[in-house]
Structure 1
Amino acid sequence: MKTITYLKGDATNPQIEGNKIIAHICNDIGGWGKGFVLAISKRWKKPEADYRNWFQNVESFKLGEIQIVQVEDNLWVCNMIGQHKTITNSKGIPPIRYEAVEQCLNKLSDKALKLNASIHMPRIGCGLAGGKWEEIEPIIERTLLKNNVEVYVYDFE
């Protein structure tokens, strides 16, 4: 089975040959404006515009769904709805929804294989969503890696 390749750098600027998909977590309330999405919006306007449009107009906008947005010839951004709302609730449950992340990554796995693309991401779900990498990493292994998709995780310096 493949393993995750950890790199130092910017996940919005993958330095790997071939088709690439940048994956990141979005919330289920249409909010875009904090965290990694800002780095995406700095480079391309379309992922945010398509996300906002999806939120307003499409019934499929819900936890566990993904949206693939082409931003360059061989580069796509995958908006993954894996976060419920944006703040930790009164019971102390953070916004991350691991089951939804797993559903998203399964769908992304199919897309990556169709596009013959590698996946590039920050430590998804571990910033504002409040998730733990030791929960996310096995999900990546069960989905993307199990299907032989190359995965690169970036730690921004």
Structure 2
Amino acid sequence: MPGITYLKGDATCPQAKGTKIICHVCNDAGGWGKGFVLALSARWAGPETAYRAWYATGDGFAPGAVQFVPVERYIWVANVIGQRGTKTGSSGPPVRYDAIAKGLQVVGQRALELGASVHMPRIGCGLAGGQWAKVEPLVQRHLCETGVAVTVYDFE
């Protein structure tokens, strides 16, 4: 069973051979303009365009849902809806751990189908306000324990 590999670097430049999925957390409010998504958009237009179209149609757009966007021959971006809104409110930060868990299950299934490794920043822990101590076990359970290799990037 593979564990999580931690690297200093840019998750939009995954360090592995073969097929790769870049996984990140999106909000359910249609907002794309702060945090890790800026790095994605600077590299590829597709993930933002696909997310905005998905939000506009509402087709399957819900917490825990995942949209896979091919960006290069062997690279996919997984837009995971794991955040409620964009601001901390009376119900706490926007992160939704249950939605991230559900999304990671879907990402894990796709990774196994594609024979892909998964690459990510510390999802749900930036603007979403989550705690890595709560997200890391979800990554372990839904990706690593199913045989998916995971690399987490800390941007310098």
- Does the pair score TM above 0.5? yes
User: Which residue is 2:10 aligned to?
Assistant: 10
Percentage of identical aligned residues? 56
TM-score (norm 2): 0.98
* Distance in 2, Cα, partners of 1:60 & 1:89: 25
* Distance in 2, Cα, partners of 1:2 & 1:22: 17
* Distance in 2, Cα, partners of 1:9 & 1:96: 24
Q: How many residues are matched?
A: 156
Q: Give the CA RMSD over aligned residues.
A: 0.7
Q: Cα deviation per residue 1:99-119 (whole Å; 9 max; x = unaligned)?
A: 000000000000000110000
Opposite residue 127 of structure 2, the aligned amino acid is: L
* 1:2, distance to aligned residue in structure 2 (A): 1.7
Opposite residue 59 of structure 2, the aligned amino acid is: E
**Structure 1: segments with no counterpart, 5+ residues:** none
User: Which residue is 2:41 aligned to?
Assistant: 41
* Distance in 1, Cα, partners of 2:34 & 2:58: 23
* 1:22, distance to aligned residue in structure 2 (A): 0.3
* 1:146, distance to aligned residue in structure 2 (A): 1.2
* Distance in 1, Cα, partners of 2:144 & 2:93: 26
User: Which residue is 1:119 aligned to?
Assistant: 118
User: Which residue is 1:58 aligned to?
Assistant: 58
User: Which residue is 2:73 aligned to?
Assistant: 73
* Distance in 2, Cα, partners of 1:121 & 1:152: 6
* Distance in 1, Cα, partners of 2:59 & 2:114: 25
- 1:82 and 2:85 aligned: no
* Distance in 1, Cα, partners of 2:103 & 2:88: 21
Q: Cα deviation per residue 1:34-68 (whole Å; 9 max; x = unaligned)?
A: 00000000000000000000001133101000000
TM-score (norm 1): 0.98
